[in-house]
Amino acid sequence: MDKLSIISLSVLLIAIVAAGCDSSGNTQNGGPGSPYIGGTYGMIANFESFGVLENNIPTIFEGETFPVEVTLKNKGEEPIEAGTAQINIVGIAATDYTGIDLEKTNINILEKVSDINPTGGEETVDFGDAQYAHDIKTSFYDAKIFAQYQYPYATHVTVPQVCFKEDTQDTTICTAEEKKTSYSSGAPIAVTNVEEKRAGAGIIALEYTVDNIGGGEVAAPDKDFDVRYGTIAFSLDESANPGDWECKMGGQENGGRLTDNKGVIRCKLLQPMEENTLYTKQIDMTISYKYRNLIQQDIRIKNKEE
């Protein structure tokens, strides 16, 4: 192999590694070596066309009806069970339109994205055929119709090589105080960094940086949405022997608030490790929440006499 080929191959390998890692070496959701496909989405929604486009605006004449349909697509790695996604038509007065329902849920399960189903589950929810209930006094009336949708979701986080070491000064086998490679499943809430730290004699802690990257609102399953902050719930999975750990965010156990869409979960061993403990172990966490977004569609209703 000539020198130019060697250089080109080296650049390619660097690019491949960089695609799955940030500047600290922490693997992002998805990417090479990840058990997850990754991504920043959970469920997304869009309105189907209301009418014929005129100047890029769906347009009808007064007295005509238009279909109100919202297509739901699951683009993350958590299934959404039938009847658990809530879609509300908002931003309009109920007395202004006839023929439509203002609240609906999904009829079918929305399957997660996977190797055998790379596009995820999809369903179109029909709210009926709407008709504007008033006379148009001017040449046209431009209406804005919104749909607010929320759904239960979860983010799965894997840290493959947590170092269990009673003597954290020992550098054999693994390092107990460092940033760890971690992986997040495809979801609007992601863990973007994990650090292992010494938390006392024979005790380690894991600090998870949590980020709301989906652009919507988040609330823990048993909490209401709050415009001031988001909330989440979290737990280590059974394989991590959760009875031996305590996980907190901002002083709250197994749940907490996100400030400016960010937060840190700190999981600490409750008892010191036995003398000469030295091994690595995969630790898995599940972050649970409900997520809410808003979409908008305009429609122009033209005076039929103009």
**Model's pTM, two decimal places?**
0.87
Q: How far is CA 296 from the centre of its chain?
A: 20
Joined together, the tokens standing for residue 210 give 């949590």
The DSSP output letter for 51 is: S
Reported residue count of the chain is 306
Cα angle vertex 137, ends 136, 139, to 5°?
80
pLDDT in tens, 225-274: 999 999 999 999 876 665 589 999 999 999 999 999 999 999 999 989 98
- Residue 232, CA distances (Å) to 36, 100, 153, 183, 226 in order: 21, 34, 11, 18, 12
pLDDT of residue 29: 56
Instruction: Give the Cα separation of 117 and 140 in Å (integer).
Output: 44
Average pLDDT over residues 137-152: 95
Joined together, the tokens standing for residue 125 give 């929810």
Tell me which amino acid residue 291 is: Y
Question: Quick check: 18 pLDDT over 50?
Answer: no
pLDDT in tens, 36-91: 999 999 999 999 999 899 989 999 999 999 999 999 999 999 999 999 999 999 99
